[in-house]
């Protein structure tokens, strides 16, 4: 748990797990589905499978815990405003051992500009370091997610080869070695 009491609008990051209250789980599911609706509204996302995302949301938090990961809910003044998830990646020719993938970073438009995207991303990186991961990978669509792409680059992510079979067009693949 991370709380910023000094901010004008207090920000609290809550890790979603098996003990999480049903209300927080519902909030996380809602944010995850908002992310999905945003993605499918973007050009080039025609092959994004919303049905898969719905199953992922219904299975929270197990859908990430079972993959060696987790997820975080960001609350601003007690209101759910952001979400991020991560999972372990299997080593391949494109993925080094002991790596995670950051997924589904979403900040509601009403909370943009508060630094939530950076805080959620940094929280995943901090957890990856604590878990002794060697790298964090992600894919993003710079044309429709320019602010997120900029945050990733500012946090030290660098371009890498495609490491998954994401069907969305125009993706940038990034990796941060830890």
Distance in angstroms (rounded) separating the CA atoms of residues 144 and 61: 27
- Which residues share a beta bridge with 78? none
Q: Which residue has the tokens 């601003």?
A: 76
Report field, pTM of the whole predicted structure over 0.95: no
Beta strands in the chain (DSSP E): 2-4, 11-16, 70-76, 79-89, 99-107, 135-140, 158-159, 172-177
Distance in angstroms (rounded) separating the CA atoms of residues 98 and 134: 6
Per-residue pLDDT, 45 = 61
Distance in angstroms (rounded) separating the CA atoms of residues 159 and 6: 35
Tell me the pLDDT of the chain (178 aa) as tens digits.
444 444 478 999 999 998 999 999 999 999 999 998 898 887 766 566 777 889 999 999 999 999 999 999 999 999 999 999 999 999 999 999 999 999 999 999 999 999 999 999 999 999 999 999 999 999 998 988 899 999 999 999 999 999 998 877 788 999 999 9
Q: Count CB-CB contacts under 10 A for residue 115.
A: 15
Contacts of 168 (CB under 8 A, 6+ apart): 39, 42, 44, 45, 47, 48, 139, 141
Assigned CATH topology for domain 2-177:
Aminopeptidase (3.40.630)
């Amino acid at each position: 748990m991370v709380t910023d009491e000094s901010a004008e609008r207090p920000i609290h990051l809550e890790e979603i797990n098996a003990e999480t209250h049903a209300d927080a789980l519902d909030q996380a599911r809602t944010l995850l589905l908002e992310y999905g609706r945003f993605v499918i509204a973007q050009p080039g996302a025609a092959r994004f499978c919303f049905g898969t995302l719905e199953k992922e949301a219904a299975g929270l938090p197990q859908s990430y815990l079972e993959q060696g990961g987790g997820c975080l809910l960001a609350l601003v003044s007690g209101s759910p405003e952001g979400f991020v998830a991560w999972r372990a990646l299997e080593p391949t020719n494109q993925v080094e051992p002991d790596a995670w993938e950051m997924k589904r970073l979403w900040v509601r438009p009403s909370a943009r500009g508060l630094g939530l995207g950076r805080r959620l991303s940094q929280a995943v990186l901090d957890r990856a370091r604590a878990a002794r991961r060697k790298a964090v990978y992600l894919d993003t669509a710079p044309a429709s997610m320019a602010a997120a792409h900029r945050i990733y680059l500012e946090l030290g992510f660098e371009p890498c080869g495609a490491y998954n079979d994401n069907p969305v067009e125009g993706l940038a693949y990034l990796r941060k070695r830890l």
